[in-house]
Structure 1
Amino acid sequence: MILKSSLILSISALCLSCGTPNKKNTNVIGPKETITDTLTTSTPNILKPAAPEGAVFGNFNGDNNQLFSHIANFNSHQEKTEIGFQDKDIKKLIVPKTLGGSLSLIELEGFDRDLLLFTAKLKDPNFNKYFLFVQRDGEWKPVINGFAIHKTNLTDTLIPIKIDPNNLRNISRHYSVFNLDDSNENGYSWLLQSESVPIKNW
């Protein structure tokens, strides 16, 4: 009986020692585990130069590179407007007898680049004057002479400049002329005329 009891106690102790797992020993002898961090890199976006308010972008050089043009300054005392450009190698354009205005792009058949149209304000606020320029070799040159249109002749559908379909080397433009008019309460009116003029610079 005593032998049987001792045998049962020995088996119980053996089962307890085998069934209870050892806790993980954090003090491990040997090299520490190396944790490698993966560094993620990104290429920063390269921002284009901020264009001034009212600037227009165009293919002014004929190389499909978009550059901006803007009204840099106007002097009301000297009555002149200064037009600046993103490319500093291009000289600023000075337009006399104007008081600022707005810029827009014109694409005309036969030209390999965008043209710059300056719609100028004048001392007489009843008129807009139009100047058309082309950029060649770092210099802006007039495509035709400037011309003025009275505001009573301006409409949403009026196209002041276009290639003359009857002569592709000419530009058809509109302009206003003074007209004595007895039927008008002022005794005069402004008539809208058109003419075809040779292109001075391509």
Structure 2
Amino acid sequence: MPSATDPPALWIAGAGGVGREALDTALAAGVPVAGFLDDRQHGATFRGLPVRRPADLGPADLGPGTRYLVGIADPAVRQRLSALLDGLGAEPFTLVHPRALIAPDTLLGPGCLVMGGAYVSSSVRLGAHSQVHYNATVGHDTVFGERVTVYPGGNVSGAVLLADGATVGSNAVVLQGRRIGAGAFVGAAAVVTRDVAPGEVVAGSPARPLRRA
């Protein structure tokens, strides 16, 4: 039975793959989880936890210090849900797997998710609601805007700038000093040797534009 001194349980927004991986991260880190928030799957139960609509949360659920993490890969959906939950009075919570390595002088913004096996190097700045998935690496002096995603095995070299909503696909490589524009998407296994314009989708080695996102 939780005591009055226990921290509030965490709500995970999104009951899909990333949401369940966020649950794995929370369990490994010893963070209690209240349940999932998902409009499409509300009423279900996953691994013994209820799935509810975000809009159905009431005062009894949103007591002082109620915490949430958006476990959804899509940056636009992450933005919408974080704004909704902020408006309901919940607080974004940063969740780091105990097998992730966060180097000194690195700052993680509110609502970030760092999964097992990830390495975030020295003097890195992760913006709010960013995600570094399992076995991904982020090099020194790199700066993330908000809602940036690095998928499993992605390798972001040092001094890279990833603007708001940028995504680096699985096993992709972004070379040192590159700039990835807002909303840009780097495809799986791509090698980015030049800056990527906002909204651009790139793929291949070296990465070349496919279309605008």
Instruction: Give the structure-1-normalised TM-score.
Output: 0.28
Higher strand share: 1
Tell which structure's C-alpha radius of gyration is larger.
1
Instruction: Give the structure-2-normalised TM-score.
Output: 0.27
